[in-house]
């Protein structure tokens, strides 16, 4: 099996474009490609999944321990090629002073070589110094190739290659020329989601064409990785299967253009605990799927589809009835906003939301409390007992506009960047909703608790 990490010298140098081009190239040759993304990103994995025909998964050494990352990586055992897209710069971690949470840490943990991406648009011989610095900074890393992004011409490329060959024997895999058609549009939370792209295959075809014309895959085909071989099956961090005779529970999951921010491994883990995830659309469906035992509402872009969400009163009614039934409802970020009373947009328009929670929200022009968080449960809740700890990620451009002072919270969260600590995790009867995105594998007992809560209410009647 071939496996490697696509990393950059910094954010914005073209990692995603190069990773997608390599995925498209290997797919075109008939290989089964399994994509991964380093860090808590939701948007890049969506594009990976669509291109590879397999769900991308997240690796994260800050939210997860080493064995949990190996467990997630095990999902690629049946693939021919594994491509892991890094985050930020190769050596950039949670804090400026350590490698914790960095792409480099993940590459070393899984024993994966690195394909280094450089933005060469405005570079000449100095690019060689950058390559040499990155290669010698950490002797624990192995480099499998170099890709030059944004190269203006063949002559420019030859000049860059000549300079780089003076300082390294790492293969130069080629270049990505300047091409506006390769750019994926962005907005306030990053790239447009794959759900918003036209399903015509033109972007994938163009990526494959670029790779065919300008990238040499042969040095990568000559490599192999022992990353999976070092993941002993007997040490996998897996939840014990449900006891024999326990019924499967059905968890309804909102998944569409408005709600698409989910960690794929969360679904895997819920499945290990005895749950079946049943997907539905808050935009296109008028009713919840039948015979659900719990609801899971993830993050996304409810603000972009506020009119459509608000007009779907039958779905609102179903969700309110479900919440009144006593069955568990768990929501994150956009799902939290959706369960509130209203959302005020930046243009001043206020859109009604479900009204399950007595909360009002408003959009902001910038990210609010962005970054990783430490969480402790200060009371028993849907996801576990008081004292439970785990880590998550905050990623939103909205905030509470008003809330009752007596609405209980069960999280105490501490933000890694601002060091600010505050109560969070809003509880209303059987509903738990928060701005924090959780990667359940960081503490698998939260998935166990969620499924067991659904099982306790299994068969309860939902009145519409």
Q: In this structure, are residues 378 and 426 in contact, taking their beta carbons and an 8 Å threshold?
A: no
Q: How far apart are CA 403 and CA 130, in angstroms?
A: 51
Q: In this structure, are residues 331 and 293 in contact, taking their beta carbons and an 8 Å threshold?
A: no
Q: How far apart are CA 298 and CA 254, in angstroms?
A: 7
Q: How far apart are CA 421 and CA 414, in angstroms?
A: 4
Q: How far apart are CA 123 and CA 159, in angstroms?
A: 10
Kind and range of the H or E run holding 411 = strand 409-415
**Residue 192 per-residue DSSP state:** P
Q: How far apart are CA 199 and CA 75, in angstroms?
A: 26
Question: Which residue in 213, 304, 212, 207 sits closest to 257, CA to CA?
Answer: 304
Six-digit token string for 117: 């991406």
Q: In this structure, are residues 331 and 434 in contact, taking their beta carbons and an 8 Å threshold?
A: yes
Question: Which residue in 417, 331, 335 sits closest to 370, CA to CA?
Answer: 417
Q: In this structure, are residues 391 and 375 in contact, taking their beta carbons and an 8 Å threshold?
A: yes
Q: How far apart are CA 334 and CA 394, in angstroms?
A: 11
Q: How far apart are CA 327 and CA 429, in angstroms?
A: 10
Is 273 tagged catalytic?
A: no
Strands 421-428 and 409-415: antiparallel
Find the DSSP H helices in 138-255.
154-165, 202-214, 218-221
Q: How far apart are CA 37 and CA 116, in angstroms?
A: 15
All residues at 6 or more sequence positions from 376 whose CB lies less than 8 Å from its CB, including other chains: 387, 388, 389, 411, 412
Residues making up the chain, counted from first to last: 464
Core vs surface per residue 157-169: b (16+ CB within 10 A) or e: bebbbebbeebbe
Task: Note the Cα 376 to chain centre separation in Å.
Answer: 22
Catalytic residue (one of 333, 354, 381, 397): 333
Active site amino acids: 333
């Amino acid at each position: 099996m071939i496996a490697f990490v696509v990393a950059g010298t910094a954010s914005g140098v073209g990692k995603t474009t190069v990773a997608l081009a390599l995925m498209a190239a290997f797919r075109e040759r008939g290989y089964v490609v399994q994509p991964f993304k380093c860090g808590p990103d939701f948007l890049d994995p969506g594009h990976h999944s669509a291109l590879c025909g397999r769900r991308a998964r997240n690796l994260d050494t800050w939210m997860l321990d080493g064995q949990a990352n190996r467990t997630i990586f095990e999902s690629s055992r049946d693939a021919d090629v594994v491509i892991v897209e890094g985050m930020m710069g190769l050596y950039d971690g949670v804090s400026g002073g350590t490698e914790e949470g960095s792409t480099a840490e993940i590459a070393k943990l899984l024993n994966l070589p690195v394909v280094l991406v450089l933005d060469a648009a405005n570079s000449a011989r100095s690019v060689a110094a950058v390559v040499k610095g990155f290669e010698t900074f950490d002797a624990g890393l192995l480099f499998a190739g170099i890709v030059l992004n944004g190269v203006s011409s063949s002559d420019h490329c030859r000049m860059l290659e000549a300079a780089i060959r003076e300082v390294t024997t790492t293969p130069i895999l080629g270049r990505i020329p300047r091409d506006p058609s390769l750019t994926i549009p962005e907005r306030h939370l990053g790239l447009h989601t794959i759900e918003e792209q036209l399903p015509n295959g033109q972007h994938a075809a163009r990526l494959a064409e670029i790779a065919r014309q300008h990238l040499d895959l042969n040095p990568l085909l000559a490599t192999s990785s022992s990353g999976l071989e070092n993941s002993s099956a007997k040490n996998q961090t897996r939840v014990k299967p449900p006891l024999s005779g326990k019924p499967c529970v059905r968890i309804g999951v909102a998944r569409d253009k408005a709600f698409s921010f989910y960690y794929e491994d969360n679904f895997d883990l819920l499945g290990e605990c005895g749950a079946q995830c049943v997907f539905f659309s808050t935009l296109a469906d008028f009713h919840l799927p039948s015979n659900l035992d719990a609801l899971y509402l993830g993050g996304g872009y409810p603000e972009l589809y506020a009119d459509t969400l608000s007009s779907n009163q039958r779905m609102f009614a179903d969700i309110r009835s479900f919440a009144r039934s006593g069955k568990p409802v768990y929501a994150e970020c956009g799902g939290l906003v959706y369960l509130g009373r209203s959302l005020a947009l930046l243009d001043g328009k206020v859109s009604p939301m479900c009204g399950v929670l007595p909360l009002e929200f408003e959009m902001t022009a910038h990210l609010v409390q962005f970054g990783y968080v430490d969480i402790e449960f200060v009371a028993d809740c849907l996801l576990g007992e008081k004292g439970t700890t785990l880590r998550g990620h905050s990623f939103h451009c909205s905030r509470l506009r008003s809330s009752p002072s007596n609405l209980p919270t069960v999280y105490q969260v501490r933000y890694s960047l601002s060091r600010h600590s505050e109560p969070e995790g809003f509880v209303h009867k059987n509903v738990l909703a928060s701005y924090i995105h959780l990667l359940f594998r960081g503490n698998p007992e939260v998935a166990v608790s969620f499924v067991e809560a659904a099982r306790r209410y299994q068969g309860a009647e939902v009145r519409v």
